[in-house]
Structure 1
Amino acid sequence: MKIQEYADRDMLAIDVANAIAGELEAALLHHDMVSLAVPGGTTPGPVFDGLCAADLEWDRVRVLPTDERCVPGDSDRSNERLIRQRLLTNRASVAQYVPLYVEGKEPDDVLPEIESLITPVLPLSVLVLGMGEDMHTASLFPGMAGLGGALDSHAPPLAVARPETQPESRITLTGPVLDGALSKHLIIFGAAKRDALDKAMSLPPEEAPIAATLTGMTVHWAE
């Protein structure tokens, strides 16, 4: 794991967007289809604003969220909404999007269908993650039911997460998929999250799920 510190968040966004574009371009030289998994929330938005303008063969890029809340795609809480508004625009509008949630269907019922779209592009070419102050990442929350199974090295690509601390069920990429990405980036802002990351490095993944992904990770941090 290496940590890159930035003078401000704008510089971080520019640097990370350029790094991701370069990694996707390199991956496209060797594969017909490449994969990019990204988080929702407000943190990655500025990165997406720069990345969407990159001159890539976006029609050969499969984009998927690292996790998704089981809410309609136009909900303020939908990761898909942010990704479509901020990333799948400009040149990136032709990228193939893989949703993790299908409205009107039970999460457990659609996992095989979604996994069939994800499995052909594993390992992930590029992964971008966020992290909460509780050290969760994607929708892998400390102490949630089923966390051990979702972190297990033999876990399937997806799991349904029902954390008691959250208002809705979620679908999330599992530990081995996240950790197995060929290139991994973690974006965090502020002193509290930097402290949480430092704490996570000395804890088991069951207590700090982000710890399951840190091998080979590039952490991008700004105040």
Structure 2
Amino acid sequence: MQLTSYESASEMMQSLSVQITSQLSAAIALRGRACLAVPGGSTPGPLFDLLSQAELDWANVTVMLTDERWVPSDSARSNTGLIKNRLLVNAARAAQYIPLYAEGLDHVLGARTLSKQVAPNLPIEVVVLGMGADMHTASLFPGAPELSFAQNELADAVMPMVPVGSDLEPRVTLSARVLEMARQIHVLILGDEKKAALAQAETLSPIEAPIAQFLPNATVHWSPV
């Protein structure tokens, strides 16, 4: 694991935007296309704002989420709105977007359908992962009954998941296999609590701390605020 610390979130987002743009550009030059997978939530919003303006052959970039709540894409709970409003604008509007939602299906059948759409875009060139204080990443939650299936090396590209101990909606997530196969893995965290959780994750197994599976090949970006 490579840990890069920054003095501020702004500095971190600027640096990460430059790195991702360079990595995607190199992949397009080498292979003609590139896939970028990103998390939802509020933390990566400023990163999306910067990436949307990057000078990049966006027409040859496929964008997808690392995970998504199983709600319609126009729901306020869906992360698709965040992606469309903050990433797929400006220059990046030319990118192809694969939403992790299938209308008319439940999250289990939907995951199977989405796996077929995601598979042709693998391996992911650049994946950005977040991490919760419980050391989950994407929607790979410790203690979830589905976790061992999503971590299996034979898992489909997209797997169903239900957060543990909550009444939140079901989700789908890119499987651990798909995330681990990414050529470039960036983990984005803010604050001392997350840094402490990261240190703990390094001592635990992926079943106890799902983020642990990806740390050996990851660049972790951290700032205190």
Report TM bin, short chain.
over 0.9
Deviation at 1:127, TM superposition (A): 0.2
8 Å contact kept, 1:38–1:65: yes
Write out the 4+ residue segments of structure 1 that deviate beyond 6 Å after TM superposition: none
Identical-pair percentage:
44
Residue in 2 aligned with 1:207? 208
Within 5 Å, give how 1:33-112 maps onto structure 2: 33-112=33-112
CA–CA distance in 1 between the matches of 2:121 and 2:73? 23
CA–CA distance in 2 between the matches of 1:156 and 1:215? 23
8 Å contact kept, 2:13–2:47: yes
In structure 2, the residue corresponding to 1:13 is in which secondary structure?
A: helix
Deviation at 1:74, TM superposition (A): 2.5
8 Å contact kept, 1:179–1:215: no
The AA in structure 1 aligned to 2:223 is: A
Deviation at 1:76, TM superposition (A): 2.7
Deviation at 1:152, TM superposition (A): 1.4
The AA in structure 2 aligned to 1:176 is: R
Residue in 2 aligned with 1:172? 173
8 Å contact kept, 1:68–1:172: yes
Deviation at 1:172, TM superposition (A): 0.2
**Tell me, which stretches of 5 or more residues in structure 1 are unaligned?**
none
Deviation at 1:165, TM superposition (A): 3.1
Deviation at 1:19, TM superposition (A): 0.6
TM-score (norm 2): 0.96
Instruction: Output one character per residue of 1:148-171: Cα deviation in whole Å (capped at 9) or x when no partner.
Output: 111112222111001233410000
Bigger drift between 161-170 and 24-33 goes to 161-170
The AA in structure 2 aligned to 1:195 is: A
The alignment's C-alpha RMSD in Å is 1.1
Q: Does 1:6 align with 2:40?
A: no
CA–CA distance in 1 between the matches of 2:179 and 2:122? 10
CA–CA distance in 1 between the matches of 2:165 and 2:73? 22
CA–CA distance in 2 between the matches of 1:58 and 1:113? 26
Residue in 1 aligned with 2:32? 32
How many residue pairs get aligned? The number is 223
TM-score (norm 1): 0.97
8 Å contact kept, 1:151–1:212: no
Deviation at 1:112, TM superposition (A): 3.5
CA–CA distance in 2 between the matches of 1:81 and 1:143? 29
Deviation at 1:123, TM superposition (A): 1.1
Instruction: Output one character per residue of 1:71-97: Cα deviation in whole Å (capped at 9) or x when no partner.
Output: 122323211111111100000001100
Residue in 2 aligned with 1:143? 143
CA–CA distance in 1 between the matches of 2:153 and 2:71? 29
Instruction: Output one character per residue of 1:126-155: Cα deviation in whole Å (capped at 9) or x when no partner.
Output: 000000000000000000011111111222
Deviation at 1:116, TM superposition (A): 2.1
Instruction: Output one character per residue of 1:12-33: Cα deviation in whole Å (capped at 9) or x when no partner.
Output: 0100111100000000012232
CA–CA distance in 2 between the matches of 1:116 and 1:60? 20
Residue in 1 aligned with 2:222? 221
8 Å contact kept, 1:70–1:103: no
Deviation at 1:59, TM superposition (A): 1.0
In structure 2, the residue corresponding to 1:29 is in which secondary structure?
A: helix
8 Å contact kept, 2:112–2:159: no
